[in-house]
Amino acid sequence: MSRYRKYDGGDPLAPPVDLAEALDAIGEDVMAGYSPERAMQEFLRRGDRDRVGLDELSRRVAEKRRDLLRRHNLDGTMQEVRELLDRAVLEERKQLARDVELDDADRDFREMQLDNLSPNTAAAVTELASYDWQSREAREAYEQIKDLLGRELLDQRFAGMKQAMENATDEDRAAVNEMLEDLNELLEKHQRGEDTQDDFDDFMAKHGDFFPEQPGNIDELLDTLAQRSAAAQRMLNSMSPEQREQLMQLSQQAFGSPALMEQLARMDANLQALRPGEDWGGSEQFEGGEGLGLGDGTGALQDLAELDQLADQLSQSYGGARLDDIDLDQLSRQLGDQAAVDARALQRLEQALRDSGYLQRGSDGQYRLSPKAMRQLGKALLRDVAQRMSGRQGQRELRAAGAAGDLSGATREWQFGDTEPWDLPRTVLNGVRRRAADPSGRLMEIEDVEVQETEARTQAAVALLVDTSFSMAMDGRWVPMKRTALALHTLIRSRFRGDALQLITFGRAAQVMEIEQLTALDARWDKGTNLHHGLLLANRHFRKHPNAQPVLLVVTDGEPTSHLEPDGEVWFSYPPHPLTIANAVRELDNAGRMGAQTTFFRLGDDPGLARFIESMAKRVDGRVVAPELDDLGAAVVGSYLGDRSAASYRDHFGDWMGGGRGFWVG
């Protein structure tokens, strides 16, 4: 059997999910110390320019919940009963005053009964149960009370019954009583384990009109009824003791007989036994001025329960949480169709991120940024660096890097703006392979084209030393440092593959790191700046590449406060000890003797640090750059390009070094 429903997928002509912005944001959070899984969750919480996030949806859910409680109270049915009772008494008094044929003693007795009615609404209704009404209008108003109570009690358990049973006949009420009797027998049979599907089908064939949800089996029927019945119990729990007492008294007058309430109480007991996991004991604090009847109040309690479920789903704070857990139908009911469309877009984005290969689950079960994601993130950072450099000096884009010099033997995919020669054999081979998979395709596509890469005539051995001391984290320099390292790594791996790059972190001690390690490195709070150890590792890297031009790049915000002892132990002292300074100077001199082209990138305005860095740079004929944090990546990349020793590279990128433009300060 085919089933149809309203399309809820948003704009069918919308472009596919773009992961670029998501990956950039996730990468930023990862570099700030978040795990990739948490970074993805934070992005989904915030959303982006074109997408509402989970936080906004959660705010709307919380706002609707507050509005329900602040706007309503649970006195609606009692207010309607009081109005009908007042109307009945008023009409009866009018009739007594008009009826001249009525015996004076009888009139006095009736007026005394009306005058002495209890101020308690439920008690007054009960006291008038046997009253012989003289006014037809008064009798009708009083009968409406009993009809209203019956309809409200039914509406509590079966949504929509208040309207459906309006102006109901005795036959309609008899049909309801028969349905409740059969329903309770079915529930009790199910509780004993004696029911069959045929029993359910027979019940639905006889009473299906009372269940617009059209459940397909007994369990679906139980779920629907138990949720509503539990909400009715929570509404009762939410009332004051006086309200509950009056409601219990009034319920005996429903349809003029306690029979309805007896059947409903029996049904509630059966449902609670069959679905004990529902919230039968909760309550809410309504504090508004707009009264809700029993049915509407139960609906409000159901809405509150749905809103609580949605809040939990949107929080994603439980183990194994996925956006697929969000009930889009509930969200659409509570916040409208657009909210469901927004949530579906987030679900698709999450699935696309997991399926894209940008996140990989490690052996420990935790997600990590994949090499593919690192390349994509590095390219984005490199584009940012290029824009900053070209914006400052008005030069060409960074993709031109590597166009001069000798062919490296490597090829890569053609990109817009490339001027390198095509590699025809690989281009044709790509087209043949694609046609083999799809014979209907064109002979040549632009993605088939590969170009020949070129490289500088002189290779470089690059050591990037980045300070990971306490102050780098404390002063907000942690993420810019990582962005810089990743941008330089991407540039060298994609454009200068012949160069050997080593990333070295130095805090209390120094360590060689792969870019994936550095990108995921949490902020370190150990005190110590071991430039001596970092330079030892850099010099070892230079000695491994004797035929390459050494390039030393040092990013730091503090003077050395620790060094490595001959036995390998770390020695720390603050303020900096002369022995620590001497060890760092000795290793810098060793780098200078190997011909290392050295640049220090000084972060911060400490005068003592400035004097120290400038004196260190002068010893090896190096340079000092004091960039703003946002310009750190452009400064390091620009220095690297400037330190490439081949004349052709100096001609090609020399202007990027910023000479004479206030970029270099030392």
Quote the DSSP letter at residue 217. S
- Domain span at residue 231 reads 75-285
**In-domain check, residue 380:** no
Decide: residue 354, CB within 10 A, 0-12 exposed, 13-18 middle, 19+ buried: middle
**Residue 643 pLDDT:** 61
159-170: pLDDT as tens digits: 888 888 888 888
Distance from C-alpha of 480 to C-alpha of 516, rounded to nearest angstrom:
16
SS (H, E, C) 323-347: HHHCCHHHHHHHHCHHHHHHHHHHH
**Residue 362 pLDDT:** 65
238-281: pLDDT as tens digits: 998 988 888 888 888 888 788 888 999 999 999 999 999 999 99
Specify the 3-state DSSP secondary structure of 409.
strand
- Show the tokens assigned to 508: 């209390």
- Do residues 126 and 229 share a domain? yes
Q: Return the closest-CA partner of residue 418 out of 384, 443, 446, 391.
A: 446
- Show the tokens assigned to 410: 């490597």
- Do residues 492 and 519 share a domain? yes
- Do residues 451 and 464 share a domain? no
Distance from C-alpha of 580 to C-alpha of 632, rounded to nearest angstrom:
27
- Do residues 50 and 116 share a domain? no
Decide: residue 229, CB within 10 A, 0-12 exposed, 13-18 middle, 19+ buried: buried
**In-domain check, residue 383:** no
Distance from C-alpha of 423 to C-alpha of 427, rounded to nearest angstrom:
6
Q: Return the closest-CA partner of residue 355 out of 77, 5, 40.
A: 40
**In-domain check, residue 401:** no
**Residue 440 pLDDT:** 76
Distance from C-alpha of 148 to C-alpha of 121, rounded to nearest angstrom:
14
What is the CATH classification number for the domain harbouring 513?
3.40.50.410
**Residue 648 pLDDT:** 33
Q: Return the closest-CA partner of residue 55 out of 44, 65, 63.
A: 44
- Do residues 67 and 80 share a domain? no
Residue 134 neighbours by CB under 8 Å, 6+ apart: 92, 95, 96, 99, 102, 110
Quote the DSSP letter at residue 408. E
- Show the tokens assigned to 547: 């035929």
Could you report the average pLDDT of every consecutive run of 10 residues in the chain (666 residues)? Answer: 50 58 76 72 83 92 94 91 94 90 88 92 90 94 91 90 86 92 95 94 93 92 94 92 88 83 93 94 90 90 92 86 90 93 88 75 66 71 65 37 54 70 84 79 80 68 91 81 83 82 93 86 79 96 93 91 92 92 95 93 88 93 86 79 49 36 32
- Do residues 420 and 474 share a domain? no
**In-domain check, residue 539:** yes
- Do residues 140 and 66 share a domain? no
| Angstrom distances, CA of residue 294 to CA of 146, 153, 212, 303 | 14, 7, 20, 14
- Do residues 547 and 626 share a domain? yes
- Do residues 642 and 515 share a domain? yes
- Show the tokens assigned to 394: 């008005």
**Residue 29 pLDDT:** 74
**In-domain check, residue 523:** yes
Distance from C-alpha of 325 to C-alpha of 530, rounded to nearest angstrom:
49
300's enclosing H/E stretch is helix 294-315
**Residue 653 pLDDT:** 36
- Do residues 606 and 560 share a domain? yes
- Do residues 51 and 161 share a domain? no
Q: Looking at the 3D structure of the chain, how many domains does it have? A: 4
**Residue 419 pLDDT:** 62
